[in-house]
Amino acid sequence: MGNKRLFIDLMSNNFFYKALSVIGTLGIVVLASSQVWSTLKKQTDAESEISKTLIELKKERKETLNEIKSTKSDLLKELDSLRLGSINELKANKDNALIDLKNAREEALKTLDSSINSDANIWLVMRSSVSQGGNAIHKIPFKSMERCQEAELELESSDGFAGRNRFFFTMCIDAR
């Protein structure tokens, strides 16, 4: 009986150790599985967060691009409006300047005409260049030397003095 008991004890011990080994292995497998599961869950959560973030970024990018497109369109419209306004203003200023120039020219001619007297002995003599390269001499009669000298000063100070028919020389002469 002693051997039998020893055998049973050995078998029990052997069974105990095997059972303990199996339980330990199962514990390790359970712990490892829970670690793997936890890691996969974290990875899935991280991937989910990254995916959500990417979707939000794409949405914000699209909204920003639409806003930029809208702003660009508004700026182009405003620039076009300003350009048209500037062009119209320049045309109006040009037209007004031409009208002012025409009126000033007519007024100057009227002043000269009113000063001209065919019986006058005072003459404003002008030598001017001609566009073909030659010279021309012009004479305008006046009633008085003072009026002739005023016309001479007006002529020399005007923009037309240096224009197309540039006058090189003017002189008032008393022909009496």
pLDDT (mean) for 9-16: 62
Residue 173 three-state SS: strand
How far apart are the C-alpha atoms of 159 and 154, rounded to whole Å? 10
Residue 159 three-state SS: helix
User: Model-level pTM?
Assistant: 0.37
CB 128 within 8 A of CB 168: yes
Q: What is the pLDDT of residue 170?
A: 82
Strand pairing of 135-142 and 167-174? unpaired
pLDDT (mean) for 24-29: 83
Q: Quick: pLDDT tens for 86-139.
A: 999 999 999 998 898 888 888 877 776 665 555 678 888 887 776 666 677 888
What element of type H or E holds 68? helix 2-115
